Amino acid sequence: MSEPFSVLRVLLVDDENLARARLRSLLADCQLPSAQVDGEAASAVAAMHLLQHGSFDLVLLDIGMPGSSGLALAQAIAELPMPPAVVFVTAHAEHALQAFDLHAVDYLTKPVRLERLQAALQKVQRTTRSAPASPAVLTDNFLNIQDRGQTLRLAIIEVLYLKAELKYTTVRTANNSYILNTALSELEEKYAAHFLRVHRNALVAQHAIHSLLRHVDPVEGEGWALRVKGVGDLLMVSRRQLAAVRQALLAV
């Protein structure tokens, strides 16, 4: 989620034109924080397209829509690198528990009152102010990592490997390990020329590829592992990536 703001950038998602018009009118009357509608969508597919190509602080989201429901869209939003806040706006009260399981900030039932919408916006702002640090900022040659309350500017050339660990990614250098909440797939796309995927959960720097050896993993059983240069760590190599790793070793 973005840094605290005085004006919320809002995406309206509802298949009914009148419902979106009603929300636009109410938002225009809201203050502290104020809100501006930067996009509208009548379906989950259209909304996700806008979210992937724009920047929003808040999604006001209906549940019952043709195609994918608002609940499914909220789950997809949560997986975005920098997800906006979600407030459900629906005529159905029975989905509230499921909505909050998806980390919705609030749940409004139609017809929405101005006072209730204003309270939801204030809750969004408070949530943002207390939110954890945003994912690592990616640049062409550096990762900006939040570490112990400080921003560390880490050169990509220093990174030996990246490994997905539950909801986080471990960044391993010769001397330290750091934790990001940036998806491994995003890092792979951004730095495709620098890293080689060796497993569904691991990317290794081209210059850190050392050797292949037979290895028995407690979870995956017997297979092949890659030894990482500089630290000696072993990373399992999937069968799908084995040929690519062998090819990379020939170039070392």
Exposed/middle/buried for residue 211 (C-beta within 10 Å: 0-12, 13-18, 19+): exposed
Q: What is the pLDDT of residue 92?
A: 82
Q: What is the CA radius of gyration of the chain?
A: 22
Domains parsed from the chain with CATH numbers: 7-129 (3.40.50.2300), 137-250 (2.40.50.1020)
- Residue 164 has φ and ψ, to the nearest 5°, of -75, 130
The model's pLDDT over 77-103, given as tens digits with 9 standing for 90+, comes to: 988 878 899 999 998 888 887 887 788
Q: What is the pLDDT of residue 33?
A: 84
Q: Which residue has the tokens 């499921």?
A: 98
CB-facing half-sphere around the CA of 122: CA atoms within 13 A = 9
The model's pLDDT over 194-243, given as tens digits with 9 standing for 90+, comes to: 899 999 999 999 889 999 999 998 888 899 999 998 888 999 999 999 99
Taking the model in full, what pTM does it have? Answer: 0.52
Cα separation, 147 vs 137, in Å, equals 13
